[in-house]
């Protein structure tokens, strides 16, 4: 039951982030940092924090390096969304969400966008998370 609550929490955060990103091209800190804080406390009290902290650390280091190498081509709000999701998904699944998000964004950018345009990443993160959650929870037995 608690797994479902965490899954729905992640979906809700991503939905709000997507709407905010569409409207203003920013994801508010209150949403991302608040989510991270709630999830850290949840994982600490759950007792299985090490697995999720490892995912959080890897995602943090990866995106810090990526942001530095690409001159901040990915937004800080998107990075914080991935950090929050790492506390929901764990190490293996967060990298699947990241790869799926970037692949979908790349495919949309080369097929739909005729000129150089700044894509918002939150909708792709939402779709990737949803697909992965459905496949993991309800299809794979």
Query: Could you report the per-residue pLDDT of 10-63, keeping only the tens digit for each?
Result: 999 999 999 999 999 899 999 999 999 999 999 998 877 888 999 999 999 998
Q: Where are the domains of the chain?
A: 2-139
d(CA 128, CA 99): 9
What does the block give as tokens for 21?
Answer: 């990103």
Q: Is the dihedral of CA 71, 74, 76, 82 positive or negative?
A: negative
The rounded mean pLDDT for the chain is 88
d(CA 134, CA 127): 11
Residue 140 has pLDDT above 70, yes or no: no
Residue 141 has pLDDT above 80, yes or no: no
**What was the pLDDT predicted at 95?**
92
Nearest to 16 by CA among 1, 42, 2, 34: 34
Nearest to 67 by CA among 59, 55, 75, 57: 75
Residue 1 has pLDDT above 60, yes or no: no
Task: Tell whether pTM > 0.75.
Answer: yes
């Amino acid at each position: 039951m608690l797994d479902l609550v965490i899954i729905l929490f992640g979906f809700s955060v991503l939905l709000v982030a997507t709407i905010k990103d569409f409207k203003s091209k920013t994801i508010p800190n209150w949403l991302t940092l608040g989510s991270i804080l709630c999830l850290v406390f949840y994982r600490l009290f759950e007792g299985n924090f090490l697995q999720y902290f490892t995912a959080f650390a890897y995602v943090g280091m990866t995106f810090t390096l990526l942001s530095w190498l690409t001159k901040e081509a990915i937004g800080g709000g998107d990075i914080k969304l991935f950090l929050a999701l790492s506390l929901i998904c764990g190490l293996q699944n967060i990298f699947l969400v990241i790869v799926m998000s970037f692949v979908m964004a790349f495919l949309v950018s080369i097929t739909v966008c005729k000129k150089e345009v700044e894509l918002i990443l939150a909708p792709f993160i939402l779709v990737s998370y949803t697909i992965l959650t459905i496949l993991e929870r309800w299809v794979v037995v």
